[in-house]
Structures are given as structure tokens and as C-alpha cells.
A and B are shown apart, each in its own frame.
Chain A
Amino acid sequence: MVNMDAYQVLTAVHIALIYAVLAVPLTLSYKTTKIINFVHINFITYGAYVAVLLYVFLGIDNVFVAIVAAFVVGGIMGVMDNVAVFEPLSRRGANVVILMIASMGLWIFYKYLMYSVLDVLSRFAKANLVSVLLRFETLPRVVVGGIPITSAFLTAVVTAAALALMLYFVLERTAVGKAIRAIADNPTLAEISGIPRGRVVNVMWFMAGGMAAVGGVLWAIFAIATPEVGDTLILQVFAIAVIGGLTSLSRTALGAFIIAFAENLGMAFLNQVFGVPTSFKPFITFSTLLIVIIAFPPLGAGGGLPYRFLRKRR
């Protein structure tokens, strides 16, 4: 039916891994705070650019250094936003829609801050910083059964596994992690049990921001780094989180694979059978997002009616 060789399958898996690393933190942050955070877009972009700037200005081409640095930068961004904007607004009684709009303002600010900084830095670097192909060889390229496996792919596998382990460990085995889950499941009860909400939520934001930033690095070494990297990926990432019901981290990871394969298989199908040009790929993604939201509406999420309003109900 559809011709997909081993290489295309590998690429789909690679993309799925990156999507998972990007989407799981979004589910985590939404689940814990009920905020749809636009700054997630910037976590991704800033993460990618940590890798770019480390390479261009410091000559660092060790991908794992870049990953750790990106995690720290993303984490700090996440915590800062919470402390400076989300917490004060919540204390004043802002609802989730207002917080979402505030995050939108932050997103615009961060995005054009990045553009401005790159504008200035480009003059010093004398290099094009707006479209960068990073190819690190920290992990060696291997050939398995005649199929070349890129360094980026191996890096993605190793990183995704490490992050999954980290999340599992923190959420299941540490007090802070259990507190995060308590707040996510039942915030009022958590409050009453005396959990120090402020600190716990900050730890969550550090992890969410950090993970998303790492996803940005993985994308940069696989595809390309541009200041629009976060923006181009966010709707896919959001669709995946919605498939995960915005509550289940494991379902989100599964959703990443579903979307990655649907996109690539779907595109291959449309291309081979109907001759649709590959530039239509985002079209498939957005249609999928629309279909997913309409078919599996997260009931009551985002402040909606907590039940289904239907015309004929008997």
C-alpha cells in the first residue's frame, strides 16, 4: 500500500521521540496548574538556541553539554515566569483564561527578545544565526543491518530514556514529586494537607521548562534551528497533549508516536497516491489537532461546561 522504507520508519520514530520530550512537559504543566502556557513555545526555541550559541561562540560541540545547559536555561525560564507573573496574578484572583493571555504576552515578548538578541549577535558572529544546521557527532554514527543510524537519532533515544527515568523517579519516588501529583489530582485537598504549593509548583515548572528546552536541542540537531522553531512545533505538541487527555503522561508519550506516524505515513500516502506536495504536511497536523479536539474534547477543561449539551438526549 504505502511504501515506507526503513529509513522513513526510523525518521518517524526519531520525530516521535522528540515530540514526546516536547509534549510530556506540556501535559505536566497543564495538569498541575490548569494553565495553557504559551511560553512553552519559547522553552523550545531558547533550548535550541542554547545549543546554537554554545557552538557558535564557544565552539562546544558536545551535545550533552548543550542538553544540560538547555535544561537549566529552560528550567529557570519556567520558574521565573511563575514567580514573576503567574503566582502574583493567581493571588489576585485571575482565572485560567487571564493567565493564558498573560502567558501569551510573555510569549510575544520572549520571541522578539530572541529576534533582537540574534540581530545584535549576528553582527559579532558574522554568521547566519537565523537558520542554523547543527550536526554534532558526540555519539557515533552506526550502521545496523545496512541502515545508517544518525548520531542525532541515538542522542534522541538516550536523552528520551534518561528524561523518562528522571520523571519517573521524581514523580514516583520523591516527596516533591508526590506533592506535584497531589496538586495535579486534587488542588484543594493538597492545599489542606499543608503542601507548600509555591515551592512544589516551582519545581514542576523547572522540570517542564527544562524538558521542553531539551526537546528544542534535539530538534535543532535533527532538523534546523530557527527563531520560529517553537512556533512551528507547538500545534503538533499541543495536539499530542490533548490526545493524552491533558492528564496522562504516558498517554501523551503514546500520542507522540501516533501523531508522528500519522503525519509521516499520512503524508507519504497522500504524496504517493494523490500527488499532494509535501508542503501540505502542516495541514495534516492541524487537521489532526482539530479532529482530536472535537472527537475527544477534554470535558470541563479550560472552564467549559462539565457535561455534553446535546439536542436529542433520549
Chain B
Amino acid sequence: MTKPILEVKDLARYFGGVKALDGVTLEVPERGVIGLIGPNGSGKTTLFNVVTGFYVPTRGEVWYAGERIDGLNPNEVFLKGLVRTFQIPRLFPSLTVLENVLLTPPRQVGEKILVAPFRSRWEKQEKELARKAVALLKKFGLGDYVRAKVSELSAAHMKMIETIRGLITDAKVYLLDEPAAGVAYTTARELFTFIRRLRDEEGLTFFIIEHRLEVLMDFVDYVYVLHNGKLLSEGKPDEVMNDPKVIEAYIGR
């Protein structure tokens, strides 16, 4: 397998007496589409929260592209190249679709307070980013929504935009939290086809939490199973689906 771009080593996170994560070690290879599954409360979202910087690990390390990133704040984690999406898409309702995408690129000079009042200083960069954003939206068939307000979008479109806006940056790894939640079966499969296409064409890496196994399993290369904060099983999708420990964990709940 290719070199891992994201690694988690003996990661633990306790909340008082509750051991949400209790020593998990896993790796996500570059250009992989990797699944993270497990019954409710097994620690999947906590894992994402620690990796993306919302929590400092109680124990263990998080490595991204050969650099240690645990302990960084969420905005710093994003700037390193990890994008995280949420179950319910968090776009900004006051802004149009284009502006939502324009918010994403880092190091925009116009965002500095001393530069902002002087249009000529940031005009060029802004126009260029706008061109890139429109091209990006068009590439994925969302060209008509450039001026749309977030409230006018369907759930599927919102999820797509939440993911592709990362493409305007150099982000390499995408952590998707239940991308298939709340959409119809066919739409979910379309979303996952879309994800694989992004991996194939853009060389991105995806680490996906998902509950809807019937959709996930056809699209991932490898799966990790969490249970009670620990890694219960891992392997290719069919191996994991037939693992008796995994079956018991899901049914037992």
C-alpha cells in the first residue's frame, strides 16, 4: 500500500470517567477511500474531533504528511490540508454559494483588516479566485448555482458544495462525517461515485464515517471498525462484513 498520509497512534480521549476513545491506532493511505464504521457511541465522531483539533488527545498522537498535528487548533489543522465536513452541512446562510466557496482559500490578502479597505490591493486576487471558483462549480455541474442562496439548495447539492469547496485549496485529506445521512439511496450512491471520482481525478484521500453500510461498502478500499472506543476489526469490506465480532457488535447493540 502507499505511504499513509494520516496516521493515528494509540489515540485516547477521556471525558472524566468516560473513555470515548481508548487507544486507537490506524492509518489512512494516500489516495485511499477508507471507511470508519461502528455502532452508535463507539467513538467515531470523537476520533474525527481529535484529529481535526477540537480536542487535545488524552494520550497518543496524530500524524499528517509526516508532521505531528495533535494539539493544533481546528483552523490550523485545516490550513495543513485536512478538510472536515459535517453530517448536517454547515454552509453559511448569509452568503451565496460563490461566496461560500470564496471563503475557503487561505492567505487571502483581502481578509487582513489593514488591506481590506483598499480595494486595489486585493482586487486581482479576488477576481482570480472567483474565476477558479466558478470553474470548479461548473466542473461538477453546479455552474447554475453560483448566485444561489444556500437556502435554495437541496441537501445533496449542499453536501457536494461542502466537499468541493476544499478543492480550491491544496487540501489532500477529507474527513466526511456521514455523507449519506438524510438522502435517498440513489442519491447516496451518486455521492459516493462522486467521491471516488474525486479520488481518481484529483488524487484526494477520503476517510469516511458512515452508518449506511449498504452504500459505503461498495465504494471503499478498506474499513476500520470501532467499538467502545477501541479498534474492533479492520480489513477489506467483505472481510469486515463477515467478521463475527463485527456482526455481534452491531446486533448486540
Chain A positions within 8 Å of B, measured between CB atoms, are: 306-307, 309-310, 313-314
Contact = CB atoms under 8 A, between A and B. Distances in A.
Interface in B56-84: 56, 70-73
A176 to B, nearest CB: 32
Contacts of A306: 54
A309 B73 contact: yes
Nearest to B55: A307
Interface of B: 54-56, 70-73
A314 B73 contact: no
B70 A314 contact: yes
B72 A313 contact: yes
Contacts of B55: 307
A10 B72 CA distance: 52
Given A306-B54, A307-B55, A314-B56, 5 more contacts: A310-B73, A313-B56, A313-B72, A313-B73, A314-B71
Contacts of A314: 56, 70-71
B71 A307 contact: no
A307 B71 CA distance: 13
A187 B54 CA distance: 24
Contacts of B72: 313
Contacts of B71: 313-314
B182 to A, nearest CB: 16
A313 B71 CA distance: 5
Nearest to A310: B73
Nearest to A313: B71
A314 B73 CA distance: 11
A309 B72 CA distance: 10
- For the complex of A and B, list the 9 residue pairs with the smallest distance between their C-beta atoms, beginning with the closest: A314-B71, A313-B71, A313-B56, A307-B54, A309-B73, A307-B55, A314-B56, A314-B70, A313-B73
Contacts of B70: 314
A309 B73 CA distance: 7
Nearest to A311: B73
10 contacts: A306-B54, A307-B54, A307-B55, A309-B73, A310-B73, A313-B56, A313-B71, A313-B72, A313-B73, A314-B56
A314 B71 CA distance: 5
A156 to B, nearest CB: 38
Contacts of B56: 313-314
Nearest to B75: A309
Nearest to B57: A314
Contacts of A307: 54-55
B79 to A, nearest CB: 15
A3 to B, nearest CB: 43
A314 B53 CA distance: 11
A299 to B, nearest CB: 12
Contacts of A313: 56, 71-73
Nearest to B56: A313
Nearest to A306: B54
A306 B74 CA distance: 12
Contacts of B54: 306-307
A69 B219 CA distance: 69
A313 to B, nearest CB: 4
B46 to A, nearest CB: 12
Contacts of A310: 73
A314 B56 CA distance: 8
A307 B73 CA distance: 10
A269 B55 CA distance: 43
A245 to B, nearest CB: 15
A310 B74 CA distance: 11
